[in-house]
């Protein structure tokens, strides 16, 4: 195979900062880096920090900083890697990068190309490489923790026993096919074991729904009649007076959004226009938006003022469909009570707001949020679903139809799992995975 080109990228964000890092990877990394770091010793000691001057390639000094050389394969990408750590000026870094690129043997890295090379060179499996992108994009503490766990290989480790069992069962099914004389009655035990593996795979898949909420953040909409106290509650949950509050009904028209973290998990809260029949043209437009927001949310809090009737609650619940709802009785300071599965709060006095936060968190993310393995990526969830479906068909087939079908389904299940860690993947899929990255990663 032809050796991969040597690539360069600015690894730090394009903003002012204490330090800015340019990274080169490939067999010519060291030689090409000398264009801007001419005083670097030859050869440098790997993994040693050299303090040196950075130039513009034509001899003028631009900055000084550290150079680190990682000799392949003991580097992030598995190739020779050089890191130039200058001061964090985007203009300076661009200048240095252009100076480096004057040598035609070097080219700009594509998004995610460093990590892609790490995967291709066997430095990490695909699910870990994806965790790097997740970590960089994480918007909340829980997302960081979940990506961190995946980066350490938690997902691959959880999948490994399932995959092994699937491969073993498949081998056995194929064996029975090849030697039918010994197959007498053996399918019966096989079916039970397939069901066992299926349960394990299902349990993993069950974390996927919550996992994806964790990554993108859950959307929670407040819905209810005008003057129920939605905007007041919105402000109380957000912790600042974001939404206008007034005793005049119809104050809120546009949908207001605020991001908050509930004990480390991300939530986007939506305040909406109150529902009432005679609000005029603008309010009607606002109410249409309210319903759109509610229907596309992960959870709707039905904010019910004291005295709201069961029939009204049922009507709002229908309006929010298919989104699940929780009834929140508002203005608790004026009295009132909540039934089971309901909450009673006062946005004004703060009563019940903490309990509501806890309820939201548990309702959306379960008890042990970032603990245990979370399947956070849609790609992983889809593959795991494929695996579960194939196993379910295999389990069923082992009762009613032939061993060929069982073996075929087990093969499909195993392939789906293999694609999570990247054992069985095509170039196109890799393109899709690594396009999510930024340049320099």
- Closest distance of CB 228 from ligand GDP, Å: 4
- Closest distance of CB 273 from ligand GDP, Å: 8
Q: Return the residue matching tokens 């990590």.
A: 115
Please identify, using beta-carbon distances, which residue of 155 and 290 lies nearer to Mg ion.
290
- Closest distance of CB 331 from ligand GDP, Å: 4
Find which of Mg ion, ligand GDP, none residue 155 binds, CB within 5 to 8 Å per kind. Answer: none
- Closest distance of CB 274 from Mg ion, Å: 6
Find which of ligand GDP, Mg ion, none residue 228 binds, CB within 5 to 8 Å per kind. Answer: ligand GDP
* 230 sits near ligand GDP (criterion: CB under 6 A): yes
Cβ contact 100:57 at 8 Å: yes
* 231 sits near Mg ion (criterion: CB under 5 A): yes
Please identify, using beta-carbon distances, which residue of 83 and 271 lies nearer to ligand GDP.
271
User: Token digits for 103?
Assistant: 């040598």
- Closest distance of CB 224 from Mg ion, Å: 9
- Closest distance of CB 257 from Mg ion, Å: 14
- Closest distance of CB 288 from ligand GDP, Å: 17
Please identify, using beta-carbon distances, which residue of 44 and 279 lies nearer to ligand GDP.
279
Could you write out the three-class secondary structure of the chain? CCCCCEEEEECCCCCCEEEEEEEEECCCHHHHHCCCCCCCCCCCCCCCEEEEEEECCCCCEEEEEEEEEECCCCCCCCCCEEEEEEEECHHHHHHHHHHHHCCCCEEECCCCHHHHHHHHCCCCCHHHHHHHHHHHHCCCHHHHHHHHHHHCCHHHHHHHHHHHHHHHHHHHHHHHHHCHHHHCCHHHHHHHHHHHHHHHHHHHHHHHHHHHHHHHCEEEEEECECCCCHHHHHHHHHCCCCCCCCCCCCCCCCCEEEEEEECCEEEEEEECCCECCCCHHHHHHHHHHHHHHHHCCCEEEEEECCCCCHHHHHHHHHHHCCCCEEEEECCHHHCCCCCCCCEECCCCCCCCHHHHHHHHHHHHHCCCCCCCCCCCCHHHHHHHHHHHHHHHHHHHHHHHCCHHHHHHHHHHHHHHHHHHHCCCCCHHHHHHHHCCCCCCC
Find which of Mg ion, ligand GDP, none residue 334 binds, CB within 5 to 8 Å per kind. Answer: ligand GDP
Q: Which of 133, 155, 170 is nearest to 381 (CA)?
A: 155
User: Token digits for 71?
Assistant: 């000799």
User: Token digits for 80?
Assistant: 């020779």
Find which of ligand GDP, Mg ion, none residue 383 binds, CB within 5 to 8 Å per kind. Answer: none
Please identify, using beta-carbon distances, which residue of 156 and 251 lies nearer to Mg ion.
251
Binds ligand GDP (CB under 6 A): choice among 330, 376, 377, 398: 330
Considering only 165-173, 247-255, 390-398, 407-415, which stretch makes contact with ligand GDP by CB under 6 A?
Answer: 247-255
Please identify, using beta-carbon distances, which residue of 136 and 260 lies nearer to Mg ion.
260
* 245 sits near ligand GDP (criterion: CB under 6 A): yes
Binds Mg ion (CB under 5 A): choice among 252, 325, 344, 376: 252
* 323 sits near ligand GDP (criterion: CB under 6 A): no
* 347 sits near ligand GDP (criterion: CB under 6 A): yes
- Closest distance of CB 399 from ligand GDP, Å: 56
Please identify, using beta-carbon distances, which residue of 115 and 330 lies nearer to ligand GDP.
330
* 331 sits near ligand GDP (criterion: CB under 6 A): yes
Dist. CA 414–CA 377, nearest whole Å: 19
What residues between 267 and 286 interact with ligand GDP by CB under 6 A?
274
- Closest distance of CB 17 from ligand GDP, Å: 41
Cβ contact 161:200 at 8 Å: yes
Find which of ligand GDP, Mg ion, none residue 441 binds, CB within 5 to 8 Å per kind. Answer: none
In the shown chain, the binding pattern of residues 348 to 367 toward ligand GDP, with x for contact by CB under 6 A and - for none, equals x-------------------
- Closest distance of CB 253 from ligand GDP, Å: 11
Task: Give the nearest residue (CB) to ligand GDP.
Answer: 229
Instruction: Provide the phi-psi class of 59: left if phi over 0, else alpha when psi is between -120 and 50, else beta.
Output: left
Residues making contact with ligand GDP (CB under 6 A): 226-232, 245-247, 251-252, 274, 330-331, 333-334, 346-348
Q: Which residues bind Mg ion (CB under 5 A)?
A: 230-231, 251-252
């Amino acid at each position: 195979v032809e050796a991969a080109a040597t690539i360069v990228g600015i690894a730090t964000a394009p903003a002012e900062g204490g330090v800015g890092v340019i990274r080169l990877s490939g067999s010519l990394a060291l030689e090409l880096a000398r264009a801007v770091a001419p005083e670097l010793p030859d050869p440098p000691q790997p993994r040693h920090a050299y303090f040196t001057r950075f130039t513009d390639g034509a001899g003028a000094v631009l900055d000084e900083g550290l150079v680190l050389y990682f000799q392949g394969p003991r580097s992030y990408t598995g190739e020779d890697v050089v890191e130039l750590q200058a001061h964090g000026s985007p203009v300076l870094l661009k200048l240095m990068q252009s100076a480096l690129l004057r040598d035609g043997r070097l080219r700009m890295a594509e998004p995610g190309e460093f990590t892609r090379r790490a995967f291709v060179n066997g430095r990490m499996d695909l699910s870990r490489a994806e965790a790097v992108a997740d970590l960089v994009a994480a918007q909340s503490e829980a997302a960081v923790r979940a990506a961190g766990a995946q980066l350490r290989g938690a997902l691959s480790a959880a999948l490994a026993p399932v995959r092994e069992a699937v491969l073993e069962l498949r081998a056995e099914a194929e064996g029975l096919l090849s030697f039918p004389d010994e197959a007498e009655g053996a399918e019966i035990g096989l079916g039970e074991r397939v069901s066992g593996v299926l349960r394990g795979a299902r349990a993993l898949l069950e974390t996927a729904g919550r996992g994806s909420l964790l990554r993108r953040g859950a959307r929670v909409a407040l819905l209810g009649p005008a003057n129920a106290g939605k905007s007041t509650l919105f402000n109380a949950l957000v912790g600042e007076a974001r939404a206008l509050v007034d005793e005049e009904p119809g104050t809120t028209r546009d949908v207001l959004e605020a991001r908050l973290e509930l004990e480390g998990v991300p939530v986007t809260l939506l305040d909406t226009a109150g529902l009432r029949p005679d609000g005029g043209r603008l309010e009607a437009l606002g109410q249409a938006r309210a319903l759109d927001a509610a229907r596309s949310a992960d959870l709707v809090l039905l904010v019910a003022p004291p005295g709201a009737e069961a029939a009204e609650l049922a009507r709002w619940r229908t309006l929010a469909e298919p989104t699940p709802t929780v009834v929140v009785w508002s203005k608790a300071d004026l009295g009132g009570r909540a039934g089971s599965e309901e909450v009673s709060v006062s946005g004004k006095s703060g009563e019940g707001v903490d309990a509501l936060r806890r309820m939201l968190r548990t309702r959306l993310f379960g008890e042990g949020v970032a603990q245990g393995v979370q399947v956070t990526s849609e790609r992983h969830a889809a593959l795991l679903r494929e695996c579960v479906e194939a196993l379910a068909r295999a389990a069923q087939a082992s009762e009613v139809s032939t061993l060929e079908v069982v073996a075929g389904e087990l093969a499909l299940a195993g392939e789906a799992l293999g694609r999570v860690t990247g054992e069985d993947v095509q170039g196109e899929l890799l393109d899709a995975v690594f396009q999510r990255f930024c340049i320099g990663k």
